[in-house]
Structures are given as structure tokens and as C-alpha cells.
Amino acid sequence: MNTNFVKSLLVIGMGLSLAACSSNDPEPKKEDTKVVEAKKEEKKEEKKEEKSTDFVVSKNYNKKYEIIITMPQDFTTIYTPANGVEVTGEIVNDSFIRYSFENKEADTKKIATVEASADATADEVAETFNKGEEDESKLYKAYQVGNYTGVNKISDYSYDDYVTYNMYFNLDRDGFKGTIKVVVEKLKAEADDSDTEAIITAILDNVKVEKKKCE
């Protein structure tokens, strides 16, 4: 066999082997690019702020501590309204949460607000407000909704279209022991009052309370 011909075959064979080996080698530059892109995507995800589904308000007491309350923005996640009733919610003056329950066709409307209160008992709150008050109709009196005890004062003024229930309920939950203020207003012309207690119960069952020392 011709020696030059054999050498040529060997050279070709080596070349093919090198090509095959090189095709199996990783491409570091491409892999590095993928890693960088993946990290960029991770950072983007971290920067995305999750949309809050809660209302959060707080009240400061003598700059010593603050009470923070949290409620769902969508009240229908904790309460089922009657047919035709539209429920809306909002934070008012950064101090309390207000929900509205309105049926425009039936011309009915209720407003419920929840607010952080002191770490006193409902009886102590009533004692403070009742002090010196001689009008029986303006006194805070014992009141109960379900398992929740508290005090209530009903405001029913002739010049107002609404009757107002001003309530303070005892709450002992998650390290907080004090009262939560709940106010419910309803149109005087609205005869059906069956859902008022359900609204109050939904608030008290689901309100989250936290007490923090001011730094």
C-alpha cells in the first residue's frame, strides 16, 4: 500500500476525531449568558411588589405604643351580602377602615367602620365616656354580639337620616388584649336590620390586631 496514501487517511481520521470531540465540548460563553439572564429574571421577580389585599391602619397612644389593625379590602371574602347589595371599602384619614353596604334599587344602605382602640376593657371605656353624663339615652351600656362582649351607645338624632351604633368590643387575640371600636350606621327608613349582627361578627372574627412599642 502506498505510504503517502496511508498517511493521508490517518490525517483525515485525526481531523474527524478532533471535530467530533470539539462538538461535544460545552460552550461556556453561551452557558454564562443563560445564567446571567436567569439572574436578571430572578431580580425582576424580587422587585415586583405584591399587590396588597388588606387595609392596614394604626393609632398612636402617647408616643409609647401603636395599635395596628388589618382587615380585608374585599369584605365579601369574609361576608356574603344579600342579593343586590354592593359592598365597597376604603381607608379614611389613615385612621379607620370603612365599608359601605348599599342596595340602590331597594334604597337601603349601611356603613360600618372599624378602628383601633385602647388596651382598656370595654367597661373601662364606658366608665370614662359615661362619667358626668346624666342623659340615659347617651350612656354606653353592656352589649353582646355572638360571643363578643362590649358596650354600645345608640345615637338617634332627629336631624340625621341614620341611626348609629357606637360599639367597643373586648378582644383578646395574638398578644393584644383591649378593645376594638366598631361603628355601624343604618338608614332609619330601613326596616330590615337582620344583617347588622352578621356584619359586626364578620369584622370581629377577621380583624387582625397588633400592638407595637414606639421606638
Residue-by-residue DSSP string for 40-77: HHHHHHHHSPPPP-EEEEEEEETTTEEEEEEEESSGGG
Measured CA to CA, the distance from residue 213 to residue 209 in angstroms comes to: 14
Longest dimension (CA), the chain: 129
Question: How does residue 3 score in pLDDT terms, banded at 50, 70 and 90?
Answer: low
pLDDT at residue 65 in the model: 82
Contacts of 73 (CB under 8 A, 6+ apart): 52, 53, 54, 55, 89
Give me Rg for the CA atoms of the chain: 34
Evaluate if residue 144 carries a pLDDT over 90: yes
**pLDDT > 90 fraction of the chain, expressed in percent and rounded:** 52
Average pLDDT, the chain: 82
Q: SS3 for 132?
A: coil
Grid cell digits, residue 49: 411588589
Q: Write out pLDDT tens, residues 149-200.
A: 999 999 988 778 899 999 999 999 888 899 999 999 998 887 677 899 999 9
**pLDDT > 70 fraction of the chain, expressed in percent and rounded:** 75
Evaluate if residue 124 carries a pLDDT over 80: yes
One-letter amino acid at 109 equals: K
Q: Write out pLDDT tens, residues 87-108.
A: 999 999 988 999 999 998 888 8
Evaluate if residue 36 carries a pLDDT over 50: yes
Task: Choose the most confident range, by mean pLDDT, from 43-52, 62-71, 130-139.
Answer: 130-139
Measured CA to CA, the distance from residue 138 to residue 133 in angstroms comes to: 7
